[in-house]
């Protein structure tokens, strides 16, 4: 059964129009078009913005962000996995849970808390097939993105990250609504129809 699912996924992947488009347009992954659609709908990017891309490997979101912010903007890709060089993108290789390391590396790049215009995350845990385990993993990643946004995001900035529908969804939304005055859920067309993934978009950070 697993082998049959794998074969079906490969066939579907090769026929996927977003995969073909990514190959033609030089993006590393079809996921770039999820971010492109979110930007078209929500106007996420601004010229000159500082953007943090969490769990960035293999780099498709960072590629799109680099083009979107222009030469005067900056994109920092953060991942514990190795990420091949991307022109115009600063890369930090470390675990997001090592907040002290992340902070030190960002300051080394000349980025100060409260200066970031957009925090992005297309991260997902390694899926086990156990819904409760996968939801717990997704919650941990969501909280990591939120914690980083609390420290580095400008008051008028935005946080966008992937989450799965399930038992932890409502709790994650409640956490966001405590920190942001505008929270919504979006699903781009480039997300596969059968996928449970959605994206939280949080704006206007509440100041304590």
Digit-coded pLDDT (tens) for 94-145: 999 899 999 999 999 999 999 999 999 999 998 888 888 999 999 999 999 9
Other C-beta atoms lying within 10 Å of the C-beta of residue 115: 15
pLDDT of residue 10: 43
Q: Is 201 a residue whose pLDDT tops 80?
A: yes
Name the phi and psi angles at 81, rounded to 5: -90, 150
Domains with residue ranges and CATH for the chain: 33-205 (3.40.50.150)
Residues 4, 15, 35, 65, Cα dihedral to 10°: 110
Q: Is 168 a residue whose pLDDT tops 70?
A: yes
From start to end of 137-179, where are the E strands? 153-164
- Quote the DSSP letter at residue 152: H
User: Could you list the active site residues?
Assistant: 162
| pTM over the 0.75 mark | yes
**Taking phi first (over 0 means left), then psi (-120 to 50 degrees means alpha), and beta for anything else, what does residue 110 get?**
left
Other C-beta atoms lying within 10 Å of the C-beta of residue 36: 19
């Amino acid at each position: 059964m697993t082998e049959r699912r794998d074969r079906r996924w490969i066939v579907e992947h090769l026929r996927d129009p977003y995969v073909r488009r990514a190959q033609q347009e030089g993006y590393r992954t079809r996921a770039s078009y999820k971010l492109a659609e979110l930007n078209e709908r929500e106007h996420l990017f601004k010229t000159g913005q500082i953007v943090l891309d969490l769990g960035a490997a293999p780099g498709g979101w960072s590629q799109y962000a680099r083009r979107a912010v222009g030469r005067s903007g900056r994109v920092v890709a953060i991942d514990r996995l190795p990420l091949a060089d991307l022109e115009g993108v600063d890369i930090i290789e470390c675990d997001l849970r090592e907040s002290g390391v992340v902070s030190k590396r960002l300051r080394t790049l000349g980025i100060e808390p409260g200066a970031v215009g957009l925090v992005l995350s297309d991260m997902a845990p390694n899926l086990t097939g156990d819904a409760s385990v996968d939801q717990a993993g997704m919650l941990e990643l969501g909280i990591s993105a939120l914690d980083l946004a609390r420290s580095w995001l400008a008051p008028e900035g935005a946080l966008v990250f992937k989450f799965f529908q399930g038992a932890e969804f409502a709790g994650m939304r409640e956490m966001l609504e405590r920190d942001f005055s505008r929270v919504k859920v979006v699903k781009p067309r480039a997300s596969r129809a059968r996928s449970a993934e959605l994206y939280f978009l949080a704006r206007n950070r509440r100041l304590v």
